[in-house]
Structure 1
Amino acid sequence: MSTQKKIARIVSPSRSANILSDETVAIATETLAGLNIQCDFAKHYIHQSDTTAQRIKDKAQDLNEAYADPNVALILSTIGGHNANRILDHLDWETIRTQPKPLCGYSDITVLLNAIYAKTGQITFLGPHFSSFGMQQGFAYTLKHFEHALLRGTDYVLDVSETWSDDLWFIDQTRRQFIKNAGPVIVNPGSCEGTILGGNLCSFNLLQGTQYMPDLTGALLFLEEDNLLGELTLTEFERNLQSLLSHRGAEHIQGLMIGRFQKDSKVELNDLVEILRSFEQLEHCPVVCNLDFGHTTPIFTIPIGGRCQINAHKETVSIKVSPSISGSAE
């Protein structure tokens, strides 16, 4: 890793940073400093929770300014939320195209990651928020994969975490609950190579029918879902996946990787596998679930628009990632 200090602009295109405790912000800032990353907070990093036309423009302004500032080396989202897609029409796409820099986040930030790739061909990163770096325990796996993806710039292999957690770590860091990781589950075996697209499924689907939806031809989809609907999560996931697989170009996807579901979603692996095997559109490609990304921790970091090779045979899954640009702009 380079010893030269990088400046990361922290932006809040979804929820405001006022949800974060002072302790979480301090730990996150210190952890990133250990990577020679200096945090610089956007003007509207903390904003009012009400949605107004001006609030949307303020969020877009922060992201535009982050791309325009030559001193900013990378951009981290503060946290997820629900309405990042509201800022898309207010972004300065010419500046984003001509002054590329990595943006990293997940959940609602999915819309920005994929839209930026679709509009500019620029690599973005599905990975931790700024707030994620405030975690004191169980963060080593996330940190390692973040470094591989954003700071080393070389090909890397996605490891399997030993344990995972779905506890409220941001409320109490002293009473963490870790669960032994059963590892990836192969639904359809096979090998493939493709362009990484996706993230949070319900957020990704918000791009359908817009100028911001990337071409699915040749895509290797990484999809996950949160637990907002509780026991209805699997039902919602099923119909959202069907919607995506009916989209133009989806017949040419190369593979499907599914992230781990949260405990409150009540998704049983056997039920998930049964539903995934019911999709005729997936019979031609490898499908793997229970991977280390989504709304549980830890998570790996992957480049949206980068290349990925999958080998899933018997009980062994190998995932090799390249952050190099695959190329898919307007």
Structure 2
Amino acid sequence: MTPVKPERLHIDDTVAIVSPSWGGPSVFPHIYELGLGLLQRWGLQVVEYPTARMAAAELAANPEARAADINRAFADPQVKAIIASIGGDDSHRILPYLDAKLIAAHPKILMGYSDVSTLHAYCQRLGVVTLHGPSVMAGFAQMAAMPDYAAHVKEMLFRPAAGLTYRPYPAYSEGYPDWAHPAKAGQVNEPIPHDGWHVLQGSSAVEGRLFGGCLDVLEGLRGGEFWPLGNFWDGRIVFLETSEEAPGPALVAEMLRGWGRDGIWGRAAALLVGRAARYDAAAKAELDRLLRTIMADEFGRPDMPIVSNMDFGHTDPQFVLPQGILARLDCSRPSLSLIEDWLS
């Protein structure tokens, strides 16, 4: 399927903020407002939809209201982008209420990560390009402390151009200082030196369309009504990362084996694995070992490139990865590049 590309952002464009999962803005409004402030400083008009600040308990009880906001945002001709306030754990409940025809007919930027992976998967089945990247509260709210990160995200939203090559950041942080203390708002935890990407298999270059997100979340969709099937997986560069819950390497391995039994690893072109949040060095090494064992020994794919410890997912800064866009992975360097525009 030829990807349907939303329009890029321009100064004075309108951005809709929704809460498709957890009602974090109602709990930590000072964090949420920091993220909104950055978007406004970029010259964007921010419109908060009814679910954006809805009380967390009320939001949890109303998946249909969350979906209605997303449908309205896609239908509104003034809205050029939809950004999630934060992730959570139950956005799968809104999928039956989304209007597939409406979304396909009015593509626009959708950005978020973690539990927003359900929405990315939904839109990919429609062929609509979305952006796996920061949310308002977890990412945008902290970007003043990470100017290189802010520059990358702004480029992805405003200046999409084929030929972009991702570069590892020299350091990263995990989690944030306690959001209950307003004085610490916008701060990040102590930076950790980044030891680079780990090429576990592969020595050449492959090309394929990107698809992925949070493994924990996607596992909940696998095999169901909203899961991509069949030749969708042919030649895909799959990118996966684990949540802040830090599922252990053995549990991650079992999830990946399930994907293999579904035939996905026999079809995919490559696997990219994000930096595992809250893993120590031993757990990261064990995950790398299991990735090689599962692909090469259990599913007969010693040829499939695998690169782990990449800069996306539940650590900061993270790459913005456009779902459905053609990318090139070169294991000999290693490097990852986008080889077509991701927005129109």
| TM-score normalised to structure 1 length | 0.90
CA distance in 2, matches of 1:19, 1:52: 10
Q: 2:241 aligns with which of 224, 244, 257?
A: 224
Aligned pairs for 1:222-301 within 5 A: 222-228=239-245, 230=246, 232-263=247-278, 268-279=283-294, 280=296, 281=299, 282-301=301-320
Superposition map of 1:68-87 within 5 A: 68-87=75-94
Which of 312, 316, 320 pairs up with 2:331?
A: 312
Find out whether 1:28 has 2:47 as its counterpart.
no
TM-score, scaled relative to structure 2: 0.86
Q: Secondary structure at the match of 1:193?
A: strand
Q: Is the 8 A contact 2:145 2:187 kept in 1?
A: no
Amino acid across the alignment from 1:159: R
Query: CA separation in 2, counterparts of 1:87 and 1:305?
Result: 22
Q: Which amino acid aligns with 1:220?
A: I
Aligned residues of 2:26 and 2:56 also touching (Cα < 8 A)? no
- Cα RMSD between the aligned structures? 2.3
Pairs within 5 Å for 1:139-288: 139-155=146-162, 156-169=164-177, 171=179, 172=184, 173=186, 176-190=189-203, 191-214=205-228, 215-228=232-245, 230=246, 232-263=247-278, 268-279=283-294, 280=296, 281=299, 282-288=301-307
Contact 1:113 / 1:124 at 8 angstroms: preserved in 2? yes
Give me the whole-angstrom Cα distance separating, in 2, the residues matched to 1:115 and 1:12: 17
SS of residue matched to 1:75: strand
How far is the alpha carbon of 1:125 from its aligned partner?
Answer: 0.7
Task: Measure, in 1, the Cα distance between the counterparts of 2:12 and 2:191.
Answer: 34
Which stretch of the first structure deviates more once superposed, 189-198 or 72-81? 189-198
Q: Give % identity.
A: 24
Higher mean C-alpha displacement, 199-208 vs 304-313? 199-208
The aligned amino acid for 1:105 is: G
Deviations 1:93-137 (A, max 9, x none): 11101111010000010011111111x211011000011211155
* 1:250-277 alpha-carbon deviations (Å, 9 max, x no partner): 3110000100011257763321221111
2:37 and 2:108 map into 1 onto residues whose CA distance is 22
Provide the secondary structure at the position in 1 that maps to 2:286. helix
User: What count of residue pairs does the alignment treat as equivalent?
Assistant: 321
Matches within 5 A, 1:7-46: 7-18=14-25, 21-46=28-53
Please list every run of 5 or more consecutive structure 1 residues that lacks an aligned counterpart in the other structure: none
- Residue 248 of structure 1: CA displacement? 3.6
Judged with a 3 Å threshold, the aligned counterparts in structure 2 of structure 1 residues 242 and 324 are, in CA distance, closer, same or farther, namely farther
Structure 1 residues 304 and 267, CA gap change in structure 2 (3 angstroms): farther
* 1:235 partner SS: helix
Of Structure 1 and Structure 2, the greater strand share is in 1
CA contact (8 A) 1:192 1:285 kept: no
Q: Equivalent residue for 2:124?
A: 117
